[in-house]
A = this chain, B = another copy of it.
């Protein structure tokens, strides 16, 4: 996988004849960790996701025209907004920052701070949109390091566990980070994610700080046995093995503390016949992973019912694993 520095001489591939006037793209939400694979696994979902409309204008520079669905939480200042900052970064790398002008409309179809890779979806949508607008000078592999850098701008740390599945689609493995080595894993054809976002605030930073810096080797062995089992189950399309493997003995016990009703939600989900249940990313969203839609839908319906009875508002999303990543809508 190339670093931003290695994406050289891309100018030569930039042909203004291929530039578009406008583009509308969708980039998917993502479930980082995939329950047992802390910081290395993640998958994209068909919904929710973010939408970016990008229009080329005569006046050079990058501007945010509007943001919808964010309850006024995201900045319109192009230097501070994730989407525009990423677009500017890529344009600077391509030597085009003074040549091109774009205006952006961002529509968030997903909650912010929910553990569903909200900033990654925006980052990927913005970068995918500008690359499409320029006639695709970069491949997805070449775009990836910019997505990681965008995540760093947005969150202060350049983890790829959300941007990798958001950009590549499907289930991704971050084999290594230095250098970045991302592997697309096979997606079992009936794998469905039922997501519930309890509307409580769990900042990623707090969730990260809770995690202990040292873990017992014994627990780590259990964890990597499960990770190896999950990867194997994905290649074999073996839902039983996937189910047996998707247990997190290291991170869940601490992060679950921040999520109200976590263990009751888990009990409800498992009773509904899903393969596994856990935290999406750093939470507070939780995810039930099932074979087929029925169990996932049942699980999230029952979980929402339970949360409502306990005075906690929530959103639900039930979706297949998204195979393609971002896509052009028009």
Task: Give A183 to B244 CA distance when docked, in angstroms.
Answer: 12
Q: A227 contacts B228, CB within 8 Å?
A: yes
Task: Give A229 to B41 CA distance when docked, in angstroms.
Answer: 11
CB-CB nearest in chain B for A245: B175
Given A213-B217, A216-B214: A175 touches B224 (CB 8 Å cut-off): no
Task: Give A268 to B224 CA distance when docked, in angstroms.
Answer: 30
- What number of A residues sit within 8 Å (CB to CB) of B? 38
CB-CB nearest in chain B for A36: B224
Write the A218-258 contact mask toward B (1 if CB under 8 angstroms, else 0). Answer: 10111111111101100100000100110000100000000
Q: Which chain B residues lie closer than 8 Å to A175 at the CB level?
A: 225-226, 228-229, 232, 241, 244-245
Q: A176 contacts B226, CB within 8 Å?
A: yes
Q: Quick one: which of B41, B211, B218, B232 contacts A183, CB cutoff 8 A?
A: B232
Task: Give A2 to B216 CA distance when docked, in angstroms.
Answer: 28
CB-CB nearest in chain B for A175: B229
* Cβ of A39 under 8 Å from chain B: yes
Q: How many monomers of this chain does the complex have?
A: 2
* Cβ of A37 under 8 Å from chain B: yes
* Cβ of A21 under 8 Å from chain B: no
Q: A176 contacts B224, CB within 8 Å?
A: no
Task: Give A183 to B328 CA distance when docked, in angstroms.
Answer: 41
Q: Which chain B residues lie closer than 8 Å to A216 at the CB level?
A: 213-215
Q: Which chain B residues lie closer than 8 Å to A37 at the CB level?
A: 224, 228
* Cβ of A269 under 8 Å from chain B: no
* Cβ of A40 under 8 Å from chain B: yes
Q: Quick one: which of B177, B213, B217, B223 contacts A212, CB cutoff 8 A?
A: B217
Task: Give A37 to B225 CA distance when docked, in angstroms.
Answer: 8
* Cβ of A173 under 8 Å from chain B: yes
Write the A171-215 contact mask toward B (1 if CB under 8 angstroms, else 0). Answer: 001111100010101000000000000000000000000011111
* Cβ of A38 under 8 Å from chain B: yes
Q: Quick one: which of B220, B223, B228, B244 contacts A231, CB cutoff 8 A?
A: B228
- What is the CB-to-nearest-CB distance from A290 to chain B, in angstroms, rounded to a whole number? 20
Task: Give A241 to B183 CA distance when docked, in angstroms.
Answer: 9
Q: B229 contacts A181, CB within 8 Å?
A: yes
CB-CB nearest in chain B for A238: B183
- What is the CB-to-nearest-CB distance from A141 to chain B, in angstroms, rounded to a whole number? 15
- What is the CB-to-nearest-CB distance from A119 to chain B, in angstroms, rounded to a whole number? 21
Q: What are the nearest 5 A-B pairs in CB distance?
A: A175-B229, A235-B235, A224-B224, A214-B214, A231-B231
